[in-house]
Amino acid sequence: MSVAVRLPTVLRAHAGGQAVVEINGSTIGEVLTTLVEQHPGLSGQVIGEDGTLNKFVNIYVNDDDVRYLQQLDTPVKDGDEISILPAVAGGSV
């Protein structure tokens, strides 16, 4: 299954400048593992060394946050769109 992975500007340099990468996989974990294998500069950026989602990024499948689904075990199907977004936090107003 091929899904489109949308990369934020800050991560594109690690993927040859691409904004969208087509990746095969049946779960979020498989897709992200393949993404990092194809673009090693992304190692540690989306999946931590312990194999869990990096807490500084949010991963969405078709606008649904995978943290509220099955996280890395969230199934994906052909044509799905995965968005990787940097987490925004901190600061005072």
User: What is the rounded CA–CA span in Å between residue 15 and residue 35?
Assistant: 9
Domain definitions of the chain by residue range: 2-86
Tens digit of each residue's pLDDT (9 = 90 or more) over 53-81? 888 899 999 999 999 999 999 999 999 99
Q: 43 Cβ partners below 8 Å, 6+ apart? A: 36
Quote the mean pLDDT of the chain. Answer: 91
Other C-beta atoms closer than 10 Å to the C-beta of 41 total 12
pLDDT band at 28, cuts 50/70/90?
A: very high
User: What is the rounded CA–CA span in Å between residue 40 and residue 15?
Assistant: 8
The CATH fold assigned to 2-86 is: Ubiquitin-like (UB roll) (3.10.20)
Q: How many helices (H) and strands (E) does the chain have?
A: 2, 5
**What 3-state class would DSSP assign to 64?**
strand
